[in-house]
Each structure stands twice: as structure tokens, then as C-alpha cells.
Structure 1
Amino acid sequence: MKLYNLSVLHKGDKVHLLKAAYDMSSFSYFQTSSIQEFMTFTSQLIVEHSEKGSRTSVKEKEYLCHVYVRNDSLAGVVIADSEYPSRVCFTLLDKVLDEFSKVVDRIDWPSGSPDTITYTALDGYLSRYQNPQDIDRMSKVQSELDETKIILINTMESLLKRGEKLDDLVFKSEELTTSTKTFYKTARKQNSCCEIM
């Protein structure tokens, strides 16, 4: 999972970039300026075609561009790979745009440029949000659930590889009541989803 770009833009008669941060560590040195230029162009284009008050995700090859255009014409764009959780991107955009609107005077938005706007937090946000599990509790819980699922699947596979069948284990178990064993047997007969291959 990777974030490549975090931008703040203004949507007026023309969309223009106010501030941006880039992570070009996965690209060669000779590609960085062209890629940054293309990311800026893409961000401006998507904001231009987005309605005020909207949140949108646009897929471009293996990248996702997450866009939030506020009703006050302030817009944010995050460009990430397709594995990065959209929910975390929109949380980041909310936070950045709220902070930006408090730090940078609204009169400077229509005429501002990356050189004239004094907002320095984008690089820090881009760096901190590289690992969504460090920031977002839901991503961390999902990751733990995925790990637990893998462990359970591996455990069941190792049991079955040793020649033991789940049916045999259920009926040998002394912890299960007779009614539970009967329920299991009936469910196995009636529902093919209970079969483990």
C-alpha cells in the first residue's frame, strides 16, 4: 500500500494547485519530474470535473485518485495505489482541508500558488499516512482478522493433512453434547457449505 501524492487545490473559474506533497521513492530519478507534473495535471482535471460537495474515487491503471471538493471550493486529492483503503484517504483529506482552511486565509485561495502559500504540513501527513494500519483502527482490526483467518485456515489444513477428518474430531469430542453432534451431522447432510475439502 502506498500514497504517492497529496494535493490541496482551489476550484474557481480555473482549478489551480495551492500546495502538494509527493512520495517519488518508488520511481527512478529521471521519471520524477514528469510523474509529478502528470499527477498535478490529473488532480486538476479530476477536481475540474467534480461537483462541489462531492467525494469521488477515480481509477487510472493501478492507481486510485481520491478527490474531495468542499462547498467552499477548497479541494484535496490523494493519489494512492489500488490497495490503499479509500476510507483512510478520505479521512486524510478531511483532516488536511480542515487544517488548511484554518491556517491559510480564504482570500489567498483563488490567487495562491505553491510558492506563495505557507502551509508545510502536507509532507508530514503524506509520510505518516503511508501505513494505514498505524493511523486507522479499522485497517488495523481488518489486518488482524485477516491474519487470524490465515492462521485458522492453516491450522485446519494441518489437521486435515495429518489424516484426521473434522467429522471424526467432532464425534470423538467429549466437550460437545449429543444434540450439538446431531446438529452438526444434520447440517452436513443438508448444507454443502459446511463441507471442508
Structure 2
Amino acid sequence: MVKLFSLSVLHKSPGKATWLCASYDTSTFNFFQRSSATEFMSFVSKTIVERTHTCSRQSVKEGDYMCHVYVRADNLSGVVLSDHDYPHRVAHTLITKLLEEFAAKFIPSSWSSLPEKSAVFPQLETYLVKYQNPREADAMTKIQEELDETKIILHNTIEAVLERGEKLDDLVSKSEGLSVQSKAFYKTARKTNSCCSLG
């Protein structure tokens, strides 16, 4: 069954991205892994936005996740984290819809001054539930047609979007936004994926 794990809205400024709001579904993780999974999803989402050029879209594999990101011309950015089976087009259509609605609710001049994750935007939780089934996106076909004109860059690993010489392992170990448990969660997931992907 396809799965959406998180929806996020961020604002990108030179060298960094700031969280505006996010919603997570960690129901597939065991209880003790949920906060670490949430932290790690936040970390990956922020890292990908910081390394995505303005006016571009990409979908990046990271372990069990697909990280779909769109950074608009005004640097408002959206991220959908899903499993590998969730259709890329639907994820990008959803991001476009979320960002349009967010921009209609919050004026652009406020984006850079909003405290992290303080934007009250209940649509995120609604959409996280509604679009678990990608067929629900059929109502968004108009946006879909517009998206067909847009190139989505697909990367097989997160390393492909990092800057030359950067390694995800190093970013994780240096991150102040990840707890010790989340770093351990990442390392365990990394080992599990590497042992299974050699075949």
C-alpha cells in the first residue's frame, strides 16, 4: 500500500531553509521510533530544500523514503515524503496545491519572519490524511496538466543533491537538530538498507 509520511512548507533563504509548518504520519513506525523518525524526516526535508535550486522540482530517494521537493520562484518550498510507490506526479501536484494555499493565507513578507513551525495551517494534516490514496488527486487534474510541462529531476540517492564533498553521514553527525536517538535511528536504518540493497 502506498504511503505518505509527511508534508512540509519551508522558506528558503541563502544558505538555509526555515520551517513554516509540517505534519507527520508516523503510524507505521513502532512507538519508540516515532519521535526519531519525525526528527529525521524533518532533517532530510530541510537538507533537500537547502540543496534544491529556486524554480525547480526534484524527487530524491533516501532509504525507504522518496523526498519530493519544489522550490518556487519566491522561495516558498514544499516537501512531500512518501514511500517509493507513491506516484511522483501526484506528490508534486499536491506540493503545488499546498504552496498556493499557503501563499494565499500568509503574505510573502511574513514568511522570513515567522518563528519556526509556527504557521497555523491545518490543511497539511487534512491533506496528509486525504492524499494517502493518490487517486484522490484526480480532482487536481488541471494542476496536473500544468505540471506536465515541468521537468521533475529524479535522483537515486540523496548524495546526488548534496554539494561536492558533502556526505549525509557527516551532515547527520554534525546536525544540532537531531537528537542522539535520531542519529542512532538513522545509522540503524542505513545499515538495514545497505545490507538489503546489495543484491
TM-score by length of 2: 0.66
Larger Rg: 1
Aligned to 2:102: 100
Amino acid corresponding to residue 92 of structure 2 in structure 1? F
Q: How does 1:1-197 map to 2 (within 5 A)?
A: 1-12=2-13, 13-136=15-138
Residues 3 and 80 of structure 1 are in contact (CA less than 8 Å); yes or no, is this contact kept in structure 2? yes
Cα distance in 2 between the residues matched to 1:76 and 1:127: 17
Shift of the alpha carbon at 1:30? Answer: 1.1
User: SS at the partner of 2:122?
Assistant: coil
The amino acid that maps onto 1:2 is K
Q: CA deviation at 1:134?
A: 2.9
| Deviation at residue 118 of structure 1 after TM alignment | 2.2
Root-mean-square deviation (CA, aligned residues, Å) is 1.8
Larger RCO (CA within 8 A; separation ≥ 6):
2
Q: Deviations over 1:46-100 (max 9, x none)?
A: 0001000000000012210000000101000000000000000000000000000
Question: Can you list the C-alpha shifts for 1:12-31, whole angstroms capped at 9, x where unaligned?
Answer: 14211110010111011111
TM-score (norm 1): 0.67
Question: Cα distance, 1:137 vs. partner?
Answer: 7.1
1:112 Cα deviation from its structure 2 partner: 1.6
SS at match of 1:31: helix
Provide runs of 4+ in structure 1 moved above 4 Å. Answer: none
1:117 offset after TM fit, Å?
Answer: 1.5
**Separation (CA, whole Å) in 2 of partners of 1:123 and 1:137:** 18
Residue 114 of structure 1, CA deviation:
4.7
Contact 1:20–1:114 at 8 Å: present in 2 too? no
Q: Distance in 2 between matches of 1:32 and 1:95?
A: 27
Aligned residue pair count: 139
Note the residue ranges of structure 2 that are not aligned, 5 or more in a row.
Answer: 141-199
What are structure 1's unaligned runs of at least 5 residues?
139-197
